[in-house]
Structure 1
């Protein structure tokens, strides 16, 4: 009788411990693995960047990764003089300039502009429109593609003279992609002081895209 009782107790103990051993078994977690996504971006040196605005001016046709794409000429029409000073508005109502920067090192840039004297076409004895001032208004920086995530360039008003003035510029890591300076909201003006004489006057505007931020806009 004692032997049977002892065996029954042993079996009972095994029956109690076996489920506990199964519950405590550890689960092995797989080791994380990594893969890569890659892409290579290049600039086609034969591609130009046409002006994207709906305004005045003309495309330059420049090609590559750093280009001045669109500039504008200004016409102030034919005006009657009366011996007094006058301020004329350009006939161009939507002038704009456009710059593209696709360089790998986005070091910043500035668009400089200057002007010669207004004078007549007489090469031997031209008349000069002394004191005339052409003013380009502060425009609005707008990306050609509205998904552009780059920081905006900065615009400024410039009274043109014989020295370069910064109209449009970007600091380092800004102004990447194609950007327009839309000078739509305020007229481009030509101030002519009193004392001007009749004649057909013209001046040459120079636009220079420089590989450096201005730090002054």
Structure 2
């Protein structure tokens, strides 16, 4: 064992000695190489909807929303696009003599916007809702509230400034601000998700006044989503 220890010490000393010689070596020549990449705007690029619960997860549920199974997305192409908007379902209910707030059936409805312009001018998403109607029958006084939305990036590594979201109350036909991306913000894909319990989502509620519904009648309203190429 003593002989082995002696040999190891000798090797270590030799290595130290050679190392000192290498540290004194001088650089005799240098040259710089270049690396390049060029980008253009995402003109014509169609961004599919992502998983609203985990946007980074490549496994997107099919359907994305069980309460809205026939909605694959808008199919709009870039560079600035609305990629997906949930159709809100409220189901069937018996008429009562009270004012009632009906909760959305959708568990995680969302709206998705993608900005591939590459200039960062910002953008704004607004929406306006028509009256709930069935032919010439109107569900008078009905209002739709969407609150407690959560803004998510399509990729968690997105370093762009996130857009801000707003709670919405559709109580007339005026346009309401939904998301707003300031100058140099909102690049890439962004969502506002209204999370809740399946079949009873408190984040989205339709308020119906007593005395307005008619039996055996399905009322429909449409929301028009407007994406502008500048912030508000």
> Secondary structure in 1 aligned to 2:44?
coil
Alignment size in residue pairs: 183
Report what 1:192 is aligned to: 208
Give 1:182's match in structure 2, choosing from 190, 193, 206.
193
Q: Does 1:113 align with 2:127?
A: yes
How far the C-alpha of 1:79 sits from its partner, in A, is 1.0
1:78-93 alignment to 2 at 5 Å? Answer: 78-93=92-107
Contact 1:90 1:189 survives alignment (8 Å) = yes
> Secondary structure in 2 aligned to 1:189?
strand
Cα offsets for 1:119-139 (capped at 9, x unmatched): 113xxxx11111100112231
Report what 2:181 is aligned to: 170
Alignment TM-score, normalising by the size of structure 2: 0.72
How far the C-alpha of 1:53 sits from its partner, in A, is 2.2
Cα offsets for 1:53-97 (capped at 9, x unmatched): 245353100112111100011111111112211000011111011
Contact 2:165 2:179 survives alignment (8 Å) = yes
Going from structure 1 to structure 2, the CA distance change for 1:104 and 1:43 (only over 3 Å counts) comes to closer
Contact 1:141 1:181 survives alignment (8 Å) = yes
Can you give the 5+ residue segments of structure 2 that lack an aligned partner in the other structure? Answer: 1-25, 53-63, 197-201
Alignment TM-score, normalising by the size of structure 1: 0.77
Contact 2:42 2:116 survives alignment (8 Å) = no
Contact 2:132 2:220 survives alignment (8 Å) = yes
1:130-149 alignment to 2 at 5 Å? Answer: 130-149=140-159
Report what 2:109 is aligned to: 95
Give 1:62's match in structure 2, choosing from 76, 87, 100.
76
**Which whole-Å CA distance do the structure 2 matches of 1:103 and 1:158 have between them?**
27
Report which stretch shifted further, 43-52 or 82-91.
Answer: 43-52
Q: Does 1:201 align with 2:215?
A: no
Contact 1:93 1:187 survives alignment (8 Å) = no
Contact 2:40 2:118 survives alignment (8 Å) = no
> Secondary structure in 1 aligned to 2:132?
coil
Contact 1:53 1:96 survives alignment (8 Å) = no
Report what 1:14 is aligned to: none
**Which whole-Å CA distance do the structure 1 matches of 2:230 and 2:41 have between them?**
20
Can you give the 5+ residue segments of structure 1 that lack an aligned partner in the other structure? Answer: 1-27
Report what 1:211 is aligned to: 229
Cα RMSD of the aligned pairs, angstroms, is 2.1
Q: Does 1:150 align with 2:166?
A: no
Contact 1:53 1:180 survives alignment (8 Å) = no
Contact 1:120 1:201 survives alignment (8 Å) = yes
